[in-house]
C-alpha cells in the first residue's frame, strides 16, 4: 500500500494522519502473514473497544464444500416479528487482507445508528484462494440469508448489500448477478469500490500515485486475486462491464477524490441512473482511499457517513 507522493496532494491534517499511521503499520516484509499482521494492527488502531451498545455473535453459514464464518451485530431490543432489516457487509482489503475484526470500526456503528442487523462475512482471501472464491462465499451467505434469515431473526426481504473497496466490488458483483432472479437485495451501498479490471479511467491516470492506494497497488491486488487474465471480463470480477442495470437495487456510492478508483464508482452511478435506478453519488473531497476509518475524526468522512445513513434508511422501507 503506497505511502509515497503524499507531498503532491493538498492533504488535510486528518488525511496526513491516516498516511502517517498507515506507514507506522507497514509490514516487515512481503510475506502474506507480515502483510496481514500489519493490516490487522492498523485496523485495531482505529477500532474502539466494544461498549455493549449492540449484540455481537460469531456464527457460521453452513455450506457443503466451504462453510463461511460470519459475525452478526444486532440491536439490543426485541426483534420485529418479521426479523431485523440487515446489512450484509463485505470488507475491503484488496481481496487479500481483512477479516471479521478489521471493519468493526464501521459495522458496530451501522447496527447502532440504523437499528438494523449487520452481518459481516469472513470470505476466503488471496493468495490462498483465487477468484471466484471470495465472490462465491459472499453469494453463499446471501442466498442462505435469503432462504433462512429468520433463523437468525433477519428479514430475508430487507437485505442491503454493502462493502468498501474490494468489498464494494463483491457487493456490486453480487447485485449484478441477482438481477432478474426474483431474489434481488433491497439496496446496495459502496464506498470507494473497485468495479473493473481495465484501470483505464481518467482517475486511474490522474491519481495513479495517490497515497495509500496507487494504480500499481491495484494492479498487484488484481493479479493476486485473479491471476488468470481470462477472468478479467467476468462480471463477477468487473461488474462495471454489465450491459444491463435494469433490475439493480436502490444504491448509494461514495468515492474518495484522491483515489485511482474514483471514476469506477462515478461511472457505475451514472449507469444506474441511466437505468432509472434511484442512486445517490457522493464525492469525498480531499479524501484518500481507506479514509472511512476516520469516521469519528474527520468532518468530511463524518459527512459521508451521515449522507450514507440517510441514503440507507429508505432502502429498508
Q: Which of 197, 289, 291, 311 is catalytic?
A: 289
> Are the CB atoms for 259 and 288 separated by under 8 Å?
yes
- The rounded radius of gyration (Å) of the Cα atoms in the chain is 18
SS3 label, residue 114: helix
Q: Is 8 designated active site? A: no
Q: Please report, for the chain, the start and end positions of each structural domain, with discontinuous segments joined by +.
A: 25-316
- Residues 6 or more apart whose Cβ sits within 8 Å of residue 182: none
pLDDT at site 63: 84
Closest CA to 254 of 214, 287, 216: 287
Q: Which residues is 118 bridged to in the sheet?
A: 73, 87
Dig out the grid coordinates for 267 from the structure.
Answer: 461511472
**What does the alpha-carbon distance between residue 177 and residue 248 come to, in Å, rounded to a whole number?**
9
**What does the alpha-carbon distance between residue 12 and residue 85 come to, in Å, rounded to a whole number?**
36
* Cell 450514507, residue located: 308
- Residues 6 or more apart whose Cβ sits within 8 Å of residue 164: 91, 92, 103, 106, 190, 191, 192, 193, 292
Q: Is 291 designated active site? A: no
pLDDT at site 2: 42
**What does the alpha-carbon distance between residue 104 and residue 107 come to, in Å, rounded to a whole number?**
5
Q: Which of 165, 203, 214, 311 is catalytic?
A: 165
pLDDT at site 317: 85
As its CATH architecture, domain 25-316 has: 3-Layer(aba) Sandwich (3.40)
SS3 label, residue 53: coil
Alpha-carbon separation of residue 51 from 44, 79, 112 (angstroms)? 15, 20, 11
What is the DSSP secondary-structure string of 15-31? HHHHHHHHHHT--SSS-
Report mean pLDDT in 10-residue bins for the chain, 317 residues: 56 96 94 97 97 98 92 97 98 98 97 98 98 98 97 98 98 98 98 97 97 97 98 98 98 98 98 98 98 96 98 96
Q: Is 259 designated active site? A: yes
Q: Which of 122, 164, 259, 264 is catalytic?
A: 259
> Are the CB atoms for 167 and 92 separated by under 8 Å?
yes
Cα angle, residue 281 at apex, residues 232 and 187 outer, rounded to 5°: 75
Amino acid at each position: 500500500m503506497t505511502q509515497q507522493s503524499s507531498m503532491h496532494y493538498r492533504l488535510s491534517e486528518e488525511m496526513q494522519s491516516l498516511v502517517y499511521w498507515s506507514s507506522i503499520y507497514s509490514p516487515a516484509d512481503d510475506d502474506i502473514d507480515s502483510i496481514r499482521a500489519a493490516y490487522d494492527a492498523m485496523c485495531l488502531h482505529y477500532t474502539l473497544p466494544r461498549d455493549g451498545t449492540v449484540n455481537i455473535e460469531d456464527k457460521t453459514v453452513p455450506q457443503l464444500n466451504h462453510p463461511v464464518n460470519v459475525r452478526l451485530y444486532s440491536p439490543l431490543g426485541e426483534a420485529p416479528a418479521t426479523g431485523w432489516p440487515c446489512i450484509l457487509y463485505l470488507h475491503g482489503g484488496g481481496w487479500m487482507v481483512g477479516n471479521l475484526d478489521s471493519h468493526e470500526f464501521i459495522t458496530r456503528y451501522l447496527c447502532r445508528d440504523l437499528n438494523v442487523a449487520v452481518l459481516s462475512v469472513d470470505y476466503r482471501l488471496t493468495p490462498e484462494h483465487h477468484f471466484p472464491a471470495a465472490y462465491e462465499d459472499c453469494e453463499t451467505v446471501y442466498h442462505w440469508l435469503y432462504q433462512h434469515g429468520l433463523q437468525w431473526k433477519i428479514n430475508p426481504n430487507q437485505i442491503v448489500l454493502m462493502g468498501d473497496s474490494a468489498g464494494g466490488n463483491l457487493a456490486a458483483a453480487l447485485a449484478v448477478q441477482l438481477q432478474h432472479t426474483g431474489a434481488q437485495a433491497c439496496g446496495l451501498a459502496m464506498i470507494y469500490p473497485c468495479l473493473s479490471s481495465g484501470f483505464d479511467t481518467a482517475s486511474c491516470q490522474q491519481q495513479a500515485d495517490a497515497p495509500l492506494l496507487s494504480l500499481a497497488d491495484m494492479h498487484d491486488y488484481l493479479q493476486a486475486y485473479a491471476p488468470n487474465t481470462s477472468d478479467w471480463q467476468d462480471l463477477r470480477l468487473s461488474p462495471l462491464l454489465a450491459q444491463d442495470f435494469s433490475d439493480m437495487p436502490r444504491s448509494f456510492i461514495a468515492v474518495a477524490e484522491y483515489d485511482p478508483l474514483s471514476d469506477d464508482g462515478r461511472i457505475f452511478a451514472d449507469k444506474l441512473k441511466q437505468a432509472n435506478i434511484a442512486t445517490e453519488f457522493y464525492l469525498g473531497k480531499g479524501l484518500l482511499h481507506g479514509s472511512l476509518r476516520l469516521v469519528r475524526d474527520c468532518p468530511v468522512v463524518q459527512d459521508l457517513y451521515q449522507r450514507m445513513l440517510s441514503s440507507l434508511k429508505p432502502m429498508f422501507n
